[in-house]
Amino acid sequence: MTLRVETTDAPSAADRAAVLEGLQAFNAAVTPGISWDYRPLAALLRDGEGGVVLGGLIGRTAAGWLYVELLHVPEPSRGAGHGARLLAGAENEARARGCIGARLDTYSFQARGFYERLGYTVTGAIDDCPPGHTRWSMAKRLDRG
């Protein structure tokens, strides 16, 4: 069999599914008893009048963890507790799904202090990602206190 590498900026849903299924099968084989079922999770911040999504949290659960991929609160609404409520809602749903922890990334120009106030700790850092800034990986246990 001859293999070739193809690079694209538009993978299809079938392309993603093929990669994910192979990875999940491998992970399941080497970690018996752990579910690698990826389930989407969102906590949305909607306009109370029109129901338009203004911000929110987008993530997924898998392997007993919540993976926060995106979190945004519009600038005029920051400081009013919306971000904390979005994260708490996602964490509560993750606990209901049996998750023991949550992880996320943030940048030096974003919200490290916000996450630390909510119990997240730095687990790693990448300098100059993007150039001139630091990317922080953070985690929080959901199964303790």
Domains plus CATH for the chain?
A: 38-141 (3.40.630.30)
What's the CA gap between 39 and 69, in Å, rounded? 13
Structure tokens of 3? 């293999």
- 99 confidence band (pLDDT: 50, 70, 90): very high
pTM of the model: 0.90
Q: Is the pLDDT of residue 74 over 70?
A: yes
The order of strands in the sheet holding 65-72 is 39-46, 53-62, 65-72, 101-107, 134-141, 121-127
What's the CA gap between 74 and 55, in Å, rounded? 6
Q: Cα Rg for the chain, rounded, in angstroms?
A: 18
Q: Is the pLDDT of residue 145 over 70?
A: no
